[in-house]
Amino acid sequence: MFKIQDYIRDIKDFPREGIVYKDITPLLQDPAATRKSLEAFLSFLEGEKIDKVVGIESRGFFFATLLAQELNAGFVPVRKPGKLPYKTHQESYSLEYGKDILEVHCDAIEKGERILIHDDVLATGGTAAAACKLVEKLGGEIVQCNFLMELDFLKGKEKISAYKVVSLISY
């Protein structure tokens, strides 16, 4: 029986002491595990029309591009400041240790387009909430927010409770 958790490696004290980093590279290195994860995400979207898949930098890009391909949708990268070459909209958000900013191209989403947002992990929810605000600023309709994993104890889902949230595994 396939269990995604079997492909997630814990790295203690990364990127700093006291953090247990959930490393998804073993999952990505196994084509069958990647395919099964992709199929699981797609099962939550049956019957939904998706125009664009928004991937959040950087680990969100991996499955976001695969989902876009499978859904015959466009891919939209949401990145940290200074990484996108064209005019952008920005949204700042809070982290446990400060603030950060996300950007999206100002022409990436058209009014009324149906959007799937994807990232690898839902932790405190700040990054996901900022991505949702960017999508809505451009006129997109958020259909669902996808995450490979959710860290329940950080209560990030509360920040995006207005949207359908799907996580394949929870810790």
Q: Looking at the DSSP assignment, which residues form a beta bridge with residue 74?
A: 52
- Of these residues, 59, 103, 113, 150, which one is catalytic? 59
- Which contacts qualify for 155-159: CB closer than 8 Å, 24 or more apart? 155/124, 155/125, 156/122, 156/123, 156/124, 156/125, 156/126, 156/128, 157/122, 157/125, 158/125, 159/124, 159/125, 159/126, 159/128, 159/129
Question: Residue 21, SS3?
Answer: strand
- Of these residues, 16, 96, 113, 150, which one is catalytic? 96
Q: Looking at the DSSP assignment, which residues form a beta bridge with residue 73?
A: none
Tell me how far apart the alpha carbons of residues 41 and 95 are, in angstroms, rounded to a whole number.
27
DSSP letter string over 74-129?
A: EEEEEBSTT--SS-EEEEEEEETTEEEEEEEETTSS-TT-EEEEEEEEESSSHHHH
- Whether 57 is catalytic is no
- Whether 96 is catalytic is yes
Q: Which residues are marked as active site?
A: 59, 96
